[in-house]
Amino acid sequence: MTVTFSQALASSRPSLRISADAADRTAHARDWWPRAAKWTDEELDRHRPDAVVFATGEEDCIAVVAACRDTGTKLVTYGAGSGVVGAAVPDSGSVVIDMRGMSRIVAFNATDGFVTVEPGCLGGELENWLNERGFTLGHYPQSLHLASIGGLISTRSTGTFSNKYGGIEELVLALRVVGADGSVTAFRNTPRNSSGPALQQLFIGAEGTLGVITQATLRVFPRAERRIFEGYQFPSVAAGVEAVRKAYAAHLRPAVLRLYDETEAANLYRRVGRDSGPPLLIAGFEGLSGVAAAEQAAFAAIAKAEGGISLGPDIGNAWEAHRFDANWLTAGNEGPRRMADAIEIALPWSTLAEAHAAITAEVAPYCATVMSHYSHFYSTGGALYVIVLLEGADTASVLEQYRQVWDRVMRKALAFGGSLAHHHGVGRQRAPFLPQELDGGHRLLQLVKAALDPEGILNPGKLALNGAVQ
């Protein structure tokens, strides 16, 4: 007699909650991926998992993986469902493991500067807990209050203050991971090591394809004594980019640097009583009061030399007050004929400004509105967000516009020497393009997948991992 997944799991873990309820299956069929918002009933049915398991601890995860392995069932790990590229979207016939019941804060060490947490804890919940104790994670994506820690790690996320605190890959100190064979790998928390390759980095950005994260130890920081914002208007986007580049060359690291083109800047100008204005840069500085003020003064001199005119703190404070508002994405995807998305790519300094102009011109014919901003900078370049609002004659038309926009942005990112993804991950949306960026590295990724998950149980198809090594 063939044993089903549910039977296998009930035998090994009878107390574990497993649901085949239609509402639970539908709730776990998609994340915030705009393409999924336009699914027909037939398409939705193709992505409803057969069952949803609600994990409450690591032993549950081990049992679920074992039951999947024994019955040949595919497994998709689901955090809070806030991803926007379909990384958590399953297929029918698969099982979803919901991690939200694993949300405990396990350990905190103020002296050594770390917190250990389970993957289902929301980023905002962890941040509030740390703030009450005088600390911060320093990781503030727009989805902070919507995203789980496991999801942030699995998509290799970053936050608005990343210039100072780094991306999630710099905050993860240690992980516990359940592999496809049911074994648990526990990485050691040390300040640094030279003990071979940094293997835990394999799981940061892996989108659940290599293992199920059950615990993470993260770097934390004392809360800043002072936070200062200042806005600047620039004569052009290129002038703003050059000001930021020179600040980085001078070893300045403002916590926040966000450069908006005229179209997106209008949204912020309106918050301070102006209808519109030239390209806008919001700079944020934090730390000891004297250090933050000194960095602000040093940056102001560089900005002025590139034609920047100070607008004072109000426009930056207005941005901070609304920085977690993602309602535009929900509203922009309402109805059958509208779509909205934010496509983030990473580019070198030498092409940042040129890429903005070229991409805007390339996608404008397909958009009701296209606007952009830069954020998250490095000594070698930065991230460009292309925000698109689309309107079509019908659903089929707007979906074709959406496909055209994504195709063009991805191709331009590669043509300008950049990365297809800065921090939203790959998911289903970017998977067709990923081998072009990774080149021979994608074969290496396939070999890793084949070694760690030879039966292809974990989140199949993501990261363009579709089976045989090529």
Q: To the nearest whole percent, how much of the chain has pLDDT over 90?
A: 97
Q: What angle do CA 36, 324, 379 make, to 5 degrees?
A: 95
Q: What's the pTM value of the predicted model, to 2 decimals?
A: 0.97
Each residue of 178-202: pLDDT tens digit?
Answer: 999 999 999 999 999 999 999 999 9
Per-residue pLDDT at 88 exceeds 80: yes
* Catalytically annotated residue among 165, 232, 260, 385: 385
Q: What is the architecture of the domain spanning 226-321? A: 2-Layer Sandwich (3.30)
pLDDT computed for residue 310 by the predictor: 98
CATH for 5-98? 3.30.43.10
How far apart (Å, rounded) are the C-alpha atoms in residues 340 and 208?
Answer: 26
Q: Do residues 458 and 210 touch, judged by C-beta distance below 8 A?
A: yes
Q: Which segments of the chain belong to CATH 3.30.70.3450?
A: 226-321
Query: Residue 1: pLDDT band by 50, 70, 90 thresholds?
Result: very low
- Give the residue-averaged pLDDT of 327-351: 97
Q: To the nearest whole percent, how much of the chain has pLDDT over 70?
A: 99
Q: Which segments of the chain belong to CATH 3.30.300.330?
A: 333-424
Long-range interactions of 160-163: CB distance < 8 A, separation 24+: 160/256, 160/258, 160/323, 160/375, 161/255, 161/256, 161/284, 161/286, 162/376, 163/253, 163/254, 163/255, 163/256, 163/257, 163/376, 163/377
Per-residue pLDDT at 2 exceeds 80: no
Strands of the sheet containing 95-98, edge to edge, are 17-19, 51-54, 95-98, 75-78
Each residue of 348-402: pLDDT tens digit?
Answer: 999 999 999 999 999 999 999 999 999 999 999 999 999 999 999 999 999 999 9
Q: Do residues 84 and 339 touch, judged by C-beta distance below 8 A?
A: no
Block residue for tokens 């705009």: 34
Q: Which segments of the chain belong to CATH 3.30.43.10?
A: 5-98
Q: Which segments of the chain belong to CATH 3.30.465.10?
A: 105-222
Query: Residues annotated as binding site for FAD?
Result: 207-213
Q: What is the architecture of the domain spanning 105-222? A: 2-Layer Sandwich (3.30)
pLDDT computed for residue 466 by the predictor: 83
CATH for 333-424? 3.30.300.330
Block residue for tokens 């700079």: 283
Strand partners, 217: 116, 174
Query: Residues annotated as binding site?
Result: 207-213
Q: What angle do CA 357, 363, 369 make, to 5 degrees?
A: 90
Would you state the structure tokens that stand for residue 251, as one six-digit string? Answer: 């070893």
- Give the residue-averaged pLDDT of 86-92: 98
pLDDT computed for residue 180 by the predictor: 98
Strands of the sheet containing 105-109, edge to edge, are 105-109, 114-117, 212-219, 172-178, 184-186
Is residue 385 annotated as a catalytic residue, yes or no?
yes
- Give the residue-averaged pLDDT of 47-57: 98
pLDDT computed for residue 167 by the predictor: 98
Query: Residue 3: pLDDT band by 50, 70, 90 thresholds?
Result: confident
Q: What angle do CA 437, 382, 350 make, to 5 degrees?
A: 80
- Give the residue-averaged pLDDT of 233-241: 98
User: What are the distances in angstroms from CA 229 to CA 180, 286, 296, 300, 316?
Assistant: 47, 9, 9, 11, 5
How many C-beta atoms surround the C-beta of residue 242 within 10 A?
19
Q: What are phi and psi of 212, to 5 degrees?
A: -105, 115
Q: Do residues 87 and 207 touch, judged by C-beta distance below 8 A?
A: yes
Each residue of 391-443: pLDDT tens digit?
Answer: 999 999 999 999 999 999 999 999 999 999 999 999 999 999 999 999 999 99
User: What are the distances in angstroms from CA 140 to CA 64, 143, 145, 197, 307?
Assistant: 32, 8, 9, 28, 30
pLDDT computed for residue 455 by the predictor: 96
pLDDT computed for residue 438 by the predictor: 96
Give Dmax over CA atoms of the chain in angstroms. Answer: 77
Which among 141, 148, 139, 144 has a CA at the least distance from the CA of 117? 148
Would you state the structure tokens that stand for residue 19, as one six-digit string? Answer: 């649901």
> How are the residues of the chain apportioned to helix, strand and coil, as percentages rounded to the nearest 5?
40, 25, 40
